[in-house]
Amino acid sequence: MINVRNATEEDLPAMLEIYNEIIINTMAVWHEQPHTIEMREEWFSQKKEQGFPVLVAELQGLVVGFSTIATFRPWSGFRFTVENSVYVRPENRGQGVAKLLLPALIDAAKQLNIHAIVAGIEATNEVSISLHEKFGFIEVAHFKEVGFKFGRWMDLKFLELIL
């Protein structure tokens, strides 16, 4: 059984492993170099300072995925809008991990009085787009060739959920 809970510092190495696999092998994250544990520690510290949740999905003691929200834009007028992220270990994709993480994240955003959640998704990532649509997100923008990775231009779709 998969358990969703708040992340702790002890989860950072597993979250780093998941994130770096995504950087190296997918278009889901547009970083091109793997992150370090120090970068992940700073990221986690910032989440705590900002009051944003970091959730992990755990299966038999192993972190198999994580999710969080972040500031959408740094200006005060955007303070009620966040951007979400959901990441799953490759061998656990397609097993319903993200379907547990995303609604828990939406619930956490509601508790923070967030008004809107934006998901920025590489335009060919139909699995992520479909996941978000299942939870009420709708496509609101499609930016052409705004990213570059693996030697090719990438489009970015924004999906939005009004809470």
Please report the pLDDT score of residue 67 as a whole number.
98
Q: Collapsing DSSP states into helix, strand and coil, what is residue 151?
A: coil
CB 65 within 8 A of CB 88: yes
Q: Looking at residue 81, what is its pLDDT?
A: 98
- Return the domain boundaries, the chain: 2-162
Determine phi and psi for 8, rounding to 5 degrees.
Answer: -125, 170
pLDDT tens readout for residues 138-161 = 999 999 999 999 999 999 999 999
What mean pLDDT do residues 76-93 have?
97
Residues 37 and 16 sit within 8 Å (Cβ to Cβ): yes
* % of the chain beyond a pLDDT of 90: 100
Rounded-to-integer distance, Cα 133 and Cα 139, Å: 8
Separation between Cα atoms, residue 27 and residue 33, nearest integer Å: 13
pLDDT digits (tens, 9 = 90+) for 12-24: 999 999 999 999 9
Q: CATH assignment of 2-162?
A: 3.40.630.30
